[in-house]
């Protein structure tokens, strides 16, 4: 019984992480598109593609740094 409960909790945590990741990517895609594409057309220009790529890189790197810092603080707080 305990093993099934732990498996269910683990599965739910993975599903929540996946949903959070999908939400993050959707949000960053929208924000970067709005920032970089002034007049939507059938195709993105080279400049727009570059802008979106750099925007997403910066956003995801910022997210990674924040997540790392938060995890570090949680570990430090739990060991105190």
Phi, psi of 38 (to 5 degrees): -85, -40
On whether the pTM is more than 0.85, the answer is no
pLDDT for position 80: 72
How many independent structural domains does the chain possess?
1
pLDDT for position 78: 84
- Residue 61 sits in which domain range? 2-79
pLDDT for position 1: 83
Q: What is the CATH number of the domain that holds 47?
A: 1.10.287.810
Which residue positions in the chain have pLDDT lower than 70? none
pLDDT for position 24: 87
pLDDT for position 31: 94
């Amino acid at each position: 019984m305990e093993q099934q409960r732990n498996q269910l909790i683990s599965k739910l945590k993975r599903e929540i992480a996946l949903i959070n990741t999908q939400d993050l990517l959707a949000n960053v895609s929208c924000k970067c598109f709005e920032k970089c594409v002034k007049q939507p057309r059938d195709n993105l220009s080279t400049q727009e593609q570059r802008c979106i790529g750099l925007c997403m890189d910066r956003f995801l790197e910022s997210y990674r740094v924040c997540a790392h810092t938060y995890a570090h603080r949680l570990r430090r707080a739990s060991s105190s």
